[in-house]
């Protein structure tokens, strides 16, 4: 059975809201509710663990889905929150990790990531990603361009990320300093030589980081609602 971890313990500094980002209202619900509902409706996911900010209770407006949901206190860095959620998760393998900051997740994308890992026995992880459409350059500290990267090889990585449990546990056993450097868990697996495969996602699965992202998410969710909740 597949376990799902939703990391929601960040403070959301760049969003500059009055409460932690995952609990900011989006489309009439706490942001976290969207990911929780999407993952709860995926066949094969039987338990969800939420990493929440220390001392923060779930707002009464949150509705719990029919499947089991556990909550833990998150850690100092994102990967610490992943490690804490995994430690409290009980049995289950593989493990899907998702950021509450990506509320436009669809059950279809979660399913695609699960199917991709199932199809590739050699892979340690399957991660949602989208080909980069901008030209990306490496720029030094003086603002001088040093290199233009070959865009055909570049993918912008998202969540969900699905891991074979042993690979994720081994990857998270690194130093606190390395965990703090990791902006995603797949990097920790790659460094250990694990095979990580990408699953093509859509740009709609955006990360809410700044106030403009929140506005965009609001518009996209409203458009989805107008289509009758069809997430396609
Ligand atoms: N996260 C977490 N524990 C942390 C830091 C981040 O669970 N110690 C989660 C966030 O809640 C979010 C996801 O990881 O769902 C991605 O992080 P990010 O977008 O950076 O969110 P925040 O850290 O909350 O935002 P900021 O960096 O602007 O403070
Ligand atoms: Mg952060």
Ligand 1: residues whose CB is within 6 Å? 7-14, 21-22, 51, 74-78, 81, 99-101, 207, 209
Q: How confident is the model at residue 57 (pLDDT cuts 50, 70, 90)?
A: confident
Ligand nearest to the CA of 13: 1
Could you tell me the pTM of the whole model? 0.96
The string of pLDDT tens digits covering residues 120-134 is 999 999 999 999 999
Q: Which atom of ligand 1 is nearest to the CA of 20?
A: 24
Confidence of residue 230 (pLDDT cuts 50, 70, 90): low
Whole-number Å distance, alpha carbon 222 to ligand 2 midpoint, is 26
Confidence class for position 71, pLDDT limits 50, 70, 90: very high
Q: How much is the average pLDDT of 176-193?
A: 95
Whether the pLDDT of residue 116 is over 80: the answer is: yes
Nearest CA to ligand 1 atom 6: 10
Local structure of 207: helix, strand or coil: coil
d(CA 164, CA 196): 11
What are the strands, taking DSSP E only, across the chain?
Answer: 2-7, 25-26, 29-30, 45-52, 68-73, 95-99, 125-131, 137-139, 145-148, 155-163, 196-200
Ligand closest to CA 210? 1
| Dihedral pair phi/psi, residue 9, rounded to 5° | -95, 0
Of ligand 1's listed atoms, the one at least distance from the Cα of 76 is 8
Q: Whose CA is nearest to atom 17 of ligand 1?
A: 10
Is residue 176 within a helix (H) or strand (E), and if so which, with residue range? helix 176-181
Q: For a pocket test of ligand 1, which of 7, 9, 10 has the largest count of ligand atoms closer than 8 A to its C-beta?
A: 10
Mean pLDDT of the chain: 96
Tell me which residue of 90, 157, 91, 161 sits closest to 123, measured CA to CA. Answer: 161
């Amino acid at each position: 059975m597949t376990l799902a971890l939703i990391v929601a313990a960040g403070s959301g500094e760049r969003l500059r809201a009055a409460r932690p980002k995952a609990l900011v209202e989006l489309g009439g619900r706490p942001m976290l509710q969207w990911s929780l509902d999407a993952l709860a409706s995926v066949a094969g996911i039987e338990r969800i663990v939420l990493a929440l900010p220390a001392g923060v209770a779930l707002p009464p407006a949150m509705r719990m889905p029919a499947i089991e949901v556990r909550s833990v206190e998150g850690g100092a860095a994102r990967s610490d929150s992943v490690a804490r959620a995994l430690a409290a998760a009980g049995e289950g393998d593989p493990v899907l990790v998702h950021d509450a900051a990506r509320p436009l997740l669809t059950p279809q994308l979660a399913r695609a990531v699960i199917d991709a890992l199932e199809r590739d026995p050699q892979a340690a992880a399957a991660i949602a990603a989208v080909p980069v459409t901008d030209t990306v350059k490496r720029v030094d500290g003086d603002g001088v361009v040093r290199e233009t990267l070959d865009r055909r090889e570049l993918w912008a990585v998202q969540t969900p990320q699905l891991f074979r449990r042993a690979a994720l546990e081994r990857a998270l056993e690194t130093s606190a300093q390395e965990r703090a450097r990791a902006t995603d868990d797949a990097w920790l697996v790659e460094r250990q030589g694990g095979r990580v495969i990408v699953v093509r996602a859509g740009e709609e699965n955006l990360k809410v980081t700044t106030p403009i992202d929140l506005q965009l998410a609001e518009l996209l969710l409203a458009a989805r609602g107008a289509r009758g909740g069809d997430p396609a």
